């Protein structure tokens, strides 16, 4: 026997008011008296009424839903950003749909289509490592659906973005290696298509230049963030005639993998080679030796991105301002660069 699902009609009959009044009360319409709104909402809760988002969207042209698309959930970084964004969305009475694209462009495009089909009121996006074409995001702009990029951003779209001061943080990380006495500092960089990779590489290069260190191209390796390749690159670097005594990695997963490889090759950390990561992932403080890394304000990034998104709501695309919020990061010094007893 099919169970009955409570509808607006059921609520209207019990309270002896019109369906349109119930609908307006449930969607927060200002023209509904406060006492009527309370009666409707209390009865709806008592009857376990489930709102039909599609029906509501047809009335209000809003679904009260925000989409969030991230590159991956393998590390703790993006889940923490999502938590910050969800906290901010909840304050405003919005629901959140989250998807991850497993670092592939094809899945990112597919996920964007799902968000369009779900009629999200706005979307937060961090790009995959493969994304070089942004047509699927420009569709949102053309449709007037607010979009905000965070962490991995699209430079060619004039929309708000939230980033960390990657250049400055990378500069400080490399300068820390210099101050610990390291003379040949390598960099395992990310793919050049990502703005974070380019900024961190610039910080690395300028830290060397400003401290009168030569730029040695054989110490700079750009890779596609596939961790299985780290062993190949670290082994290559350590087998150079003049191997590096310091390593600045594009992110913590790369740095942690590098530490494991370096230890397996019988080298001491930080005596033979010191290692610095970027992002302060959950595992960075538990690996042995603990990882010196750049700590990013990840929850703040999510909250800030959501605030910027809400700032675009109910505005024409022509009124969108391409605000860029730059958050500061902090260098956390641990045993992978400074040996403590």
What are the tens digits of pLDDT across the range 172-202?
A: 999 999 999 999 999 999 999 999 999 999 9
pLDDT at residue 52 above 60?
no
β-bridge mates for residue 166, sequence order: none
How far CA 183 is from CA of 234, 248, 249, 307, 315, in Å, comes to: 17, 13, 16, 44, 53
What is the pLDDT at residue 54? 47
Give the chain's domains with CATH numbers: 8-60 (1.10.260.40), 65-163+297-327 (3.40.50.2300), 166-296 (3.40.50.2300)
DSSP H or E segment with residue 307: helix 298-312
Question: Could you identify the residue written with the tokens 């979009």?
Answer: 147
| Chain length of the chain | 341
Structure tokens at 175: 């300068």
What is the pLDDT at residue 18? 86
**CA end-to-end span of the chain, whole Å?**
70
% of the chain residues with pLDDT over 70: 94
What is the pLDDT at residue 61? 61
Structure tokens at 83: 């938590």
Rounded-to-integer distance, Cα 306 and Cα 319, Å: 18
Reported as a pLDDT band with limits 50, 70 and 90, residue 22 is confident
- According to DSSP, the β-strands at 95-100 and 122-125 are unpaired
Structure tokens at 49: 């009424």
Mean pLDDT across 233-243: 97
What is the pLDDT at residue 2? 45
Reported as a pLDDT band with limits 50, 70 and 90, residue 313 is confident
Reported as a pLDDT band with limits 50, 70 and 90, residue 1 is very low
Higher pLDDT, 10 or 96: 96
pLDDT at residue 56 above 90?
no
* Phi and psi torsions of 202, nearest 5°: -60, -40
Using DSSP's 3-state secondary structure scheme, residue 243 falls into coil
Reported as a pLDDT band with limits 50, 70 and 90, residue 91 is very high
């Amino acid at each position: 026997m099919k169970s009955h699902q409570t509808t607006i009609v059921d609520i209207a009959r019990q309270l002896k008011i019109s369906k349109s009044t119930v609908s307006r009360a449930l969607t927060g319409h200002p023209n509904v008296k406060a006492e009527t709104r309370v009666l409707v909402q209390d009865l709806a809760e008592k009857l376990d009424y489930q709102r039909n988002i599609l029906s509501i969207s047809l009335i209000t042209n809003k679904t009260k839903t925000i989409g969030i698309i991230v590159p991956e959930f393998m590390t703790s970084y993006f889940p923490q950003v999502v938590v910050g964004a969800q906290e901010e969305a909840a304050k405003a009475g919005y629901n959140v749909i989250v998807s991850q694209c497993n670092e592939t462009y094809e899945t990112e495009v597919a996920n964007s289509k799902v968000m369009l089909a779900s009629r999200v009121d706005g979307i937060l996006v961090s790009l995959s490592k493969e994304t070089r074409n942004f047509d699927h995001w420009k569709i949102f702009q053309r449709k007037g659906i607010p979009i905000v990029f965070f962490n991995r951003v699209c430079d060619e779209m004039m929309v708000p973005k939230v980033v960390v001061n990657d250049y400055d943080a990378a500069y400080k990380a490399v300068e820390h290696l210099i101050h610990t006495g390291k003379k040949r500092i390598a960099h395992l960089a990310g793919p050049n298509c990502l703005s974070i990779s380019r900024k961190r590489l610039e910080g690395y290069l300028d830290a060397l230049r400003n401290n009168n260190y030569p730029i040695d191209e054989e110490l700079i390796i750009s890779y596609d963030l596939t961790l299985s390749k780290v062993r190949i690159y670290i082994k290559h670097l350590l087998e150079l005639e003049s191997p590096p005594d310091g390593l600045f990695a594009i992110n913590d997963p790369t740095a942690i993998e590098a530490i494991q490889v370096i230890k397996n090759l019988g080298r001491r950390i930080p005596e033979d080679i010191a290692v610095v990561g970027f992002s302060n992932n959950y595992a960075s403080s538990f690996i042995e030796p603990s990882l010196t890394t750049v700590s990013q304000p990840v929850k703040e990034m999510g909250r800030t991105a959501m605030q910027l998104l809400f700032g675009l709501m109910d505005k024409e695309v022509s009124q969108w301002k391409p605000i860029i919020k730059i958050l500061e990061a902090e260098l956390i010094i641990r045993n992978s660069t400074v040996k403590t007893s």
